[in-house]
Amino acid sequence: MSLYSTLIRPLLFQLDAETAHHATVEACRIAGLLPWVPHLTRACLEFKAPELQCEVAGMRFEHPIGLAAGWDKSGRALRMLDHLGFAFAEIGSISAQPSQGNPKPRLFRLPQDQAIIVNYGLPNEGAEFIAPRLAAHRMRIPLGVNIVKTNYGPGAPACSDEAILADYERSVSLLHRHAGYLMLNLSCPNAAGGKDFFAQPGNITRLLHLLKPLNLTCPVFLKVAPRDDPAEHERLLAEADAFDFVRGFSFNLPPGKPATLRLSTPRSAWEHLPGAVSGKPVEDLINRCIAGLATRMNRQRHVIIGTGGVFTAADAYRKLRLGASLVQIYTALIYEGPGVISRINQGLCQLLARDGFRHVSEAVGADLRSA
C-alpha cells in the first residue's frame, strides 16, 4: 500500500470532489515555489528505462505516459508538473476568453467503478492571462496546451460559425509559441456551442485553413468525439490530410451516459448527475476507436495519443498495441496518486520483455499487424 492510498486519498475523499481537486492543484503550485520540493519529488517519482524512451511527432519523451488535460486547467502548477514523473503534461482546456464553466456541483466520484463524472464546462483564466504564465516557465518535459472554444455558460446565445472559429484562432495565436504541442479540443462533452460544430463535415477543414497562416512550429493534435464508426474516421482523416502541421489525434469522453458504459455503481446513484463519465467505464469504447482509426490512418504521418481508463501497465500496453504512440492518465491520478506513473512504466518494461520487444516503439500497433 502506498502513502497516497493509505493517508492522502482518505483525507482528500473527505472533501467534495471539486474542493479536493482545487486543493491538490494549489498545493502543487505552492510546492513548486519551494526550491527543494520539486527536485526531491522528481527523485522519488521519476522512472527511466532506455526501452521506453521514444520520439513522437518530432518530440522526445522519456517514456510514453503523460498527464491528460483537465487537471491543471490554467497552467497554475507548471513547476510541479515538470517533476511528478510524467513524460509530458497537457494543461487546459484553455479558451480565448475566461470562463467560469458550468454551475456547481460539477465533479463527482464513483469509487466502485474507478470513475468520475465530469461536468466542469471548461473553467479557465483565458488565453490572454495564461500566455504570459507559460512564457515565464520553460518546461523540462513537453507541454501540451489544450485549446477549446470559450464556454459562456448554459444560458448564453448560440455563437455564429465565424465566432467559433475566431475563438480557436485567437487562443492558438496567443499560445502556440509556448507549447510543445497543441491539442485542439473539438468535442468537449460538457459545453454548449461548439461540441457538435466539428461533427459537421467541412468545419474541421475551415478551422485548419484559418490556422495555417499562423505558421505553427509545434505539432497539432485533434481531440475528437469517440465514435466507433469507420466512416467518421475516414472523414476525420480526409479533413486533416491537407495540413502538414496536424500530426495526430486523441479521443474525448463520450457525452452523457451512453448505454455502452458498464457501471457497477447503482444507477440511482449517478443517472441524475450531470456530465460525462471518465475512467474505467470508457476504456473499451475508446480502445475500439483507437484501433479503428489506427487501422485507417497513415501511421508514418499521424499518431494517436490514447487516454481513457488507464490504471495499470496492462491498460497502457493495450492502447499501445492497438496503435497509440503515447498514453495519458487522469482519473488514475485521483485514485492511485502520482506513484501510479512509475508503476505503469515498470510494468511496461516487463510486458515488453515478455513479448520480445526491445523498444516500446515496436509494440505500437502490434495487435493491428497480427490482425
Closest-CA residue to 142 (of 220, 59, 53): 59
* pLDDT of 79 above 80: yes
* pLDDT of 282 above 70: yes
Burial class of residue 49, CB neighbours in 10 A (0-12, 13-18, 19+) = middle
Out of 112-126, 193-207, 350-364, pick the least confident: 193-207
Q: What own/partner pairs with CB < 8 Å and gap ≥ 24 does 21-30 have?
A: 21/71, 21/107, 25/71, 25/72, 25/76, 25/77, 26/76, 26/77, 28/72, 28/77, 28/80, 28/81, 28/84, 29/76, 29/77, 29/79, 29/80
- The whole-angstrom separation of Cα 306 and Cα 322 is 10
Are 186 and 198 in contact, with CB atoms under 8 Å apart? yes
Per-residue pLDDT at 191: 66
Domain boundaries, the chain: 3-370
Per-residue pLDDT at 33: 95
C-alpha cell recorded at residue 132: 504570459
Architecture of domain 3-370: Alpha-Beta Barrel (3.20)
> DSSP string covering 186-204, please?
---TT-TTTTTGGGSTTHH
* pLDDT of 155 above 90: no
- The whole-angstrom separation of Cα 154 and Cα 152 is 7
Band of pLDDT at residue 371, cut at 50, 70 and 90: low
* pLDDT of 37 above 80: yes
H-state helical runs in the chain: 3, 9-12, 17-33, 37-45, 78-81, 127-135, 161-175, 203-211, 230-240, 283-296, 313-322, 331-336, 339-354, 360-363, 366-370
Distance in Å from the first CA to the final CA of the chain: 39
- The whole-angstrom separation of Cα 144 and Cα 68 is 9
* Burial state string for 201-222 with b = 16 or more CB within 10 A and e = fewer than 16: eebbebbbeebeeeebebbbbb
Band of pLDDT at residue 190, cut at 50, 70 and 90: low
- The whole-angstrom separation of Cα 344 and Cα 360 is 13
Q: What own/partner pairs with CB < 8 Å and gap ≥ 24 does 156-164 have?
A: 156/192, 156/193, 158/192, 158/193, 159/193, 159/194, 161/197, 161/203, 161/206, 164/193, 164/194, 164/197
- The whole-angstrom separation of Cα 349 and Cα 42 is 20
Closest-CA residue to 51 (of 355, 371, 369, 337): 355
State the average pLDDT over residues 266-278: 93
* DSSP-derived secondary structure letter, 177: G
Percentage, residues of the chain above pLDDT 70:
98
State the average pLDDT over residues 1-6: 84
* pLDDT of 12 above 60: yes
Band of pLDDT at residue 223, cut at 50, 70 and 90: very high
State the average pLDDT over residues 305-316: 98
Per-residue pLDDT at 154: 80
* pLDDT of 53 above 90: yes
